[in-house]
Amino acid sequence: MEILGRERRRRWSNAEKLEIVAAVGMNGETLARVARRYDVSRSQIYQWRHLFRKRGLLPAADEPTFLPVDMGRAAERNRKVS
């Protein structure tokens, strides 16, 4: 294994963090897909979202947010097991 140099820590501005956090759920984007696109961990996005809500920079949802779920295969498996 060859080591090419020191791994550097990236610095994100608050504007960049807010952009990444806001991208989750927009046009059906999942947290995992946004994390891969920006090359950050999912836990980092959760941490930023928590921090921004705590600071009042990200509004808490007034109403529940519903996401589409496909229960077709899960329901079929449950029927076969029963």
Structure tokens at 19: 């952009």
Distance CA 62, CA 23 (A): 19
**In terms of pLDDT, which residue wins out, 67 or 57?**
57
Computed on alpha carbons and rounded to an integer, the radius of gyration of the chain in Å comes to 18
Are the C-beta atoms of 34 and 18 separated by less than 8 Å?
A: no
Amino acid 49: pLDDT: 92
Top pLDDT among 22 and 76 is at 22
Mean pLDDT value of segment 20-44: 92
Please classify residue 40 by burial: count the beta carbons closer than 10 Å to its beta carbon, then call 0-12 exposed, 13-18 middle and 19+ buried.
middle
* Higher per-residue pLDDT: 38 or 8: 38
Residue 59 pLDDT > 90, yes or no? no
End-to-end, the C-alpha distance of the chain in Å comes to 51
| Average pLDDT of the segment spanning 7-31 | 88
Determine if the pTM surpasses 0.75. Answer: no
